Amino acid sequence: MKIGIAGIGGIGSNVARHLAQARVKEIKIVDFDRVEASNLNRQFYFLSQVGEKKTDSLEKNLKDIFPEMVIEKIEKKIEPKDARMLFSDCSIVVEGFDTKNLKKMIIEELSGTGPFVVSASGIAGENMDGVTTRKLGNCRIVGDFISDQDEFTLFPPKIAMVASVMAGIVLRHAKDKINKGRGNEFLPPFSRQLPHGIYGILGEKFSLGRTNVEVAKQMVNAGIDILQYREKLKDKSHKEMYDQCRDIRKITEDAGVPFIVNDYADIALMVGADGIHRGQDDLPVKALREIAPHMMIGCSTHSLEQAKNAVEDGADYIGVGPIFTTRTKEDVCDAVGLEYLEHVVKTHDIPFVAIGGIKRHNLRDVLSSGAKTVCLVTEIIGAENIEKSIKEIRNLLGEYQ
């Protein structure tokens, strides 16, 4: 399977670098430009290559990483109506242009029944917290969707971050076709970094009669940032949970949304989830890390001591709560309030999700206390219109970005 890259500047060259590191066999790169010294702070080129064709320089750099990579080079400025022909032999196309018009052109020409497209929108400025992924037909778009390059300066760490997320989406989409027969060790999962935004949790008890799979589709289509499956054996058999998680894994994978399984490490491993979440009475973080070293591991915490222990044990993120009284979990401890949340913000660098009793009417209090990732369970899965609910929550989050 061939992966095409349209434009090999900051986004395109860095996505290509990640693909070489993941041992992707075949790519096509299209660009007409030459390497400039002013771009070396954010593009995958070197000082000795200044003045050279980008296609030639990038080929050399990629082959230094993975000599077996087959690279088709096309030195050409892509014009309207070129894209479909240029990338007709590609299953996936990465859009790496600088201008809105070119981005729009690629997406429009390759939309519908064409290849899977991974694009970027809003990669300038220093605000990295707002970077998320949206779905538009057969296209996945990464960025903050605000910071246009004409109005904001380019910030190299943000460009690198967006390129990494885009490469991850490409690899996940292609995992069953790239390096076939060689296992998944060449196809790394999502970054173990908890995304900022809305952390969704599934649970049929609160879903108005809808199945977890049905709700997952709606949440993903509405732009949820991360999704967790949370059910118990008293409500579903192990096989039922496995079947649902397998279907939800496919939904989240196609959309580029990280998928977490609560408690059941065996199911998480079998369906290829991106992470496992555990409570205080579940399997230890260190033990989970031994069997799932590549996965994001989250840990619920309700006190300063528990947060400290989770950090020391190597959790990738923690749950902070319940902030307010909640009825979505049985045998839950008393609400810890905003004081605990504020203390975590001041004393720990570990990513966290604020959870427990959070509603739209008290969300501003949570956000103003420093939360970047928030979980509202019944406000979303218990809503008649899930898309509308997520949009309203997203608007509130936007006030604090």
Active-site positions read 230, 300, 329
Characterize 27-66 residue by residue with b for buried, 16 or more Cβ atoms within 10 angstroms of its Cβ, and e for exposed.
bbbbbeebbeeebeebbbbeeebeeebbbebbbebbeebb
Let me know: does 323 contact 365? Beta carbons within 8 Å: no
Between CA 193 and CA 217 the distance in angstroms is 23
The answer to whether the Cα torsion of 204, 213, 297, 311 is positive or negative is negative
Peptide bond into 322 cis (omega under 30): yes
Torsion angle of the four alpha carbons 38, 42, 47, 48, in this order, in degrees rounded to the nearest 10: -120
Residue 397 CB contacts under 8 Å (≥ 6 apart), including other chains: 197, 198, 367, 374
Please report where in the chains the tokens 């729009």 appear, as a residue: 104
Q: What single letter denotes the amino acid at residue 57?
A: S
What secondary structure letter does DSSP report for 331? T
* Structure tokens belonging to residue 15: 């996505």
Closest CA to 201 of 350, 371, 329: 329
- Could you tell me where the DSSP H helices lie in 272-374? 285-291, 304-313, 337-347, 363-368
Residue 332 CB neighbour total at 10 angstroms? 17
Between CA 297 and CA 286 the distance in angstroms is 10
Burial of 198 (0-12, 13-18, 19+ CB in 10 A): buried
Torsion angle of the four alpha carbons 212, 214, 220, 224, in this order, in degrees rounded to the nearest 10: -50
